[in-house]
Structure 1
Amino acid sequence: MGTGQELYKKAKYLIPGGTMLLSKRPEMFLPDQWPSYFSKAKGCKVWDLDGKELIDMSIMGIGTNTLGYGNDEVDAAVMETVKKGNMSTLNCPEEVYLAEKLIEINPWADMVRFARSGGEANSIAIRIARAASGRDKVAICGYHGWHDWYLSANHNGGDDLSSHLLGGLSPNGVPKNLKNTVYPFNYNNFEELLSIVDTNEIGVIKMEVVRNFGPEDNFLHKVRKLATDRNIVLIFDECTSGFRETFGGIYQKYGVEPDMAMYGKTIGNGYALTAVVGKREVMEAAQNTFISSTFWTERIGSTAALATLKVMEEVKSWEIITAIGNKMRKGWQQLADEYNLKITISGIPSLSTYSFNSDKALEYKTFIAQEMLAKGYLASTNFYASTAHNEENLKLYFEALNDVYSIISDCEKGIKNIDELLNGPVCHGGFKRLN
């Protein structure tokens, strides 16, 4: 057993759940065999605690590092900040420069608040929007973090979030009197949203702009008009989708502007920074409530974000990662066709995922992680593209994956038994979402 697995065994005793992020639990990939921890990371390479070099053809820090791990320009800016001092009694000027840049990128917006995680940014946006609208009830479409306001949807009289997007999220610890404050609606189902708005005092509509598929029948334009007509604050959660298909929000593709938007994940290339941008008349409501935190004032996050945005703009990173993502999807489909396997590909190109249309889908996913790890890859049935990935990475990845698909094909034909080929337990299903 590797050093990483040994450490993870210890972690499960010391840390509830073993990790800070559900999506990084080894059980989501390859239970009892995943390396679990890294010693260093650069470009699209990761080294485990045993010094083994692995090519990351999986989720690249859960989609944070679109410029690759340890981008030289971003890291140089951060190191300069570390030398000069990260924290003081005074504020860091970078937060003002970053606010200016984000308003330039989102010309409909006037003001910005910063945080350090996506869940925080979502909670900040909800607090401000509720204060601005004067109404408590929220209609949601998408994944918006772990805070009470969101999970309270599962108190509504069923597992609302399960049918909506993700199952198995227990609202234990979330006050039951938050019941019926948040109402999920399904993407592209405008009638469902209209019904929620007609029958409840909705003050906020919060949604991801796209999910596994884009809007149909002018869905986003209808939502925008409804919000305007009913004086509802419209929030686009771009924590995941931002800076992946445009320089800024993916909303730009559809010609619809929100009242507020959140950015996270990509904006600092792995350094902690999230942002809430919005119209002045909405954002000013932040002064009529209490939103404040010590570490939102540290300097590394805003420094990293400024440097990341500069590099992104120079290299047009969103175009590069979309092209790489499309090549990956094409390669998956070609392999599946070659071996007569049925797969379903979803997500936006730079955040691509697929599943086997088989009752053994999870077993095959586990087998891919197992076999590709032995070949020197961190891989599963998803791929989050970065500018550090290149043609050679894809070529060698598909050469390795070809052998794995060949065996899966034999399993589907009944020639081999997948259960006999797995060296450990089957991976957990996890929840389906954009990323």
Structure 2
Amino acid sequence: MTNQKHIKKSLELQQKAKKLIPGLSQLLSKRPDMFNPEHWPGYYSKAQGAKVWDLDGNEYLDMSISGIGANILGYAEPAVDNEVIQAITNGVSSSLNCPEEVLLAEKLCEIHPWAEQARFARCGGEAMTVAVRIARAATGKDKIAFCGYHGWHDWYLSANISDTGNLDDHLIPGLSPRGVPRALKGTAIPFPFDDIQALKDVISHHGTELAAIVMEPMRNFSPSAEYWRQVEALASELHIPLIIDEISMGFRICPGGSHLQLGINPDIAVFSKAMANGYAMAAVIGKSKWMDAAQSSFISSTMWTERVGPVAALATIDFYQSNKVHEHLASLGEKIKQGWLDLAAKHQLKIHVSGISALCHFGFEHPEPLKLKALFIEKMLDKNILATNMYYAMYAHQFEHVEQYLQAVDYAFAAIKEAQDNPELLAHITPSTSGFKRLN
């Protein structure tokens, strides 16, 4: 059984990290308290395929967040790493530009025929900021109407200046706008998903000042084609770009952006995460009428010109297309989702399941769902499986991994049923954290 003694090195390093790194980790979604702070190993020494090894030498099957969705092929995929190693051998940067950025721009525009140009960054949040800057430069307007989660930058967090709950329904609750200039108040206006009247209401109040409509293509469900046609029409009437944030959804349900499968016609689309299988890479692609505005605004960074990112992206996309990765991801996710439902029924647990097959999750219908989540994680660790209430599919996952995982879920759900029937068993459980929380 995994316990504090077996992950001694990770727990010790977490305590050291709390003193040295504000917030412990660079990414909120990888903080141990988001899982189970007393049992989650926290740090890895090696990752290969679908396996992860912690600092104490424990080996786990990773059926959890798969690098928070970045490692879509699996860890240390040779088809990508070998290309990266060759690029490193030849030098990752110089006073000249790498040719791979041109090849990647060409590839992304080939996959997305509506797009004509591309700019690159190295992470999703900054790429979204580039897209918003381009929209503002192109239109000469300041306000952004948005739906969904789009990162940590000032343009987005400014939505919480006027109301600290504005972002609560856009994936992560409790995001603080502290440090964001208050002068940005009112420049980011949220609206709910799949509610065309709500967007029309935003436009009725701010339409002449809007620079763009920014949306994720989907999250837990996909709206109708009619909804998207209306969104596109509104953007067109306002002469502003429709920006689709594909950072989470891109390269999960089809090669390229999910908007291709959903029939959405954007003006700009933003990618990161799965596009380069864990290597730092992000792209903003779009129509020339909007993208040309990047030349009228200062958008420039030395590290956006390094070679590893484009090389990794090209290798990842080639592997993805050659192996029809999306079909395998969908098959895995369908088995996982059905397994959750079947095992919940077996153990008389109430859960709800949502999300696309390649990125799905479940929630406990219980007065203390975060305690049940923490207990689930603890019991899955007993079986040497990294798991949470989310599942990000990787190509490295095989159906025997799914069987192993679901056997462990059976064990975990049995323990949760016992805890539900005997509340004293839940008393000692430290609940998982939900949303942003300061670490002391």
TM-score by length of 1: 0.96
The share of aligned pairs that are identical, in percent, is 47
Distance 1:428 1:156 in 2: 25
Deviation at 1:216, TM superposition (A): 3.4
Distance in 1, matches of 2:435 and 2:387, equals 16
1:429 aligns to 2:434 (yes or no): yes
- 2:92 pairs with 77, 80, 86, which one? 86
Q: Report whether the alignment pairs 1:294 with 2:299.
A: no
1:41 and 2:74 aligned: no
Report the AA paired with residue 239 of structure 1. Answer: I
Separation in structure 2 between the aligned mates of residue 254 and residue 79 of structure 1, nearest angstrom: 36
The secondary structure found in structure 1 opposite 2:214 is strand
**Secondary structure of the structure 2 residue equivalent to 1:347:** strand
* 1:220 is aligned to 2:228: yes
What is the count of residue pairs matched by the alignment? 428
Name the aligned partner's letter for residue 332 of structure 2. Answer: I
Structure 2 runs not aligned, ≥5 long: none
Cα offset, 1:165, TM superposition: 4.0
The code of the aligned residue for 1:67 comes to L
Partner of 1:417: 424
Query: Which amino acid is the alignment partner of residue 79 of structure 1?
Result: I
Asked whether the 8 Å contact 1:54–1:376 carries over to 2, the reply is yes
Give the counterpart letter for 1:417 in structure 2: E
Which residue, 321, 336, 344 being the options, matches 2:329?
321
Structure 1 distance, partners of 2:387, 2:428, is: 17
Equivalent of residue 104 in structure 2, options 88, 98, 105: 98
Superposition RMSD on alpha carbons, in Å? 1.3
Matches within 5 A, 1:122-141: 122-141=128-147
Question: What secondary structure is seen at the aligned counterpart in 1 of 2:11?
Answer: helix
Partner deviation per Cα, 1:336-372 (whole Å, 9 max, x = no partner): 1111111111121111111111112111110111111
Kept in 2, the 8 Å contact 1:407–1:416? The answer is no
**Structure 2 residue matching 1:218: 3-state secondary structure:** helix
1:36-435 to 2 correspondences below 5 Å: 36-200=42-206, 201-216=209-224, 218-412=226-420, 414-415=421-422, 417-420=424-427, 422=429, 425-430=430-435
Tell me, in whole angstroms, the C-alpha distance in 2 between the residues paired with 1:421 and 1:345.
27
> What letter corresponds to residue 435 of structure 2 in structure 1?
G
Distance in 2 of aligned mates of 1:427 and 1:256: 36
CA displacement at 1:374 relative to structure 2: 1.9
Cα contact 1:164–1:185 (8 A) shared by 2: no
Q: Which runs of 5+ in 1 are unaligned?
A: none
- 2:435, 2:178 → 1: CA distance? 19
Deviations for 1:224-278, whole angstroms, at most 9, x for unmatched residues? 0111111111100001100100111111122221000001100000000000000
Shift of 1:36: 0.8
Q: How much has 1:24 moved relative to structure 2?
A: 0.3
Q: Tell me, in whole angstroms, the C-alpha distance in 1 between the residues paired with 2:198 and 2:425.
A: 42
Runs of 4 or more above 4 Å deviation: none
Shift of 1:394: 1.1
Q: Which amino acid aligns with 1:236?
A: I
**Shift of the alpha carbon at 1:416?**
5.8
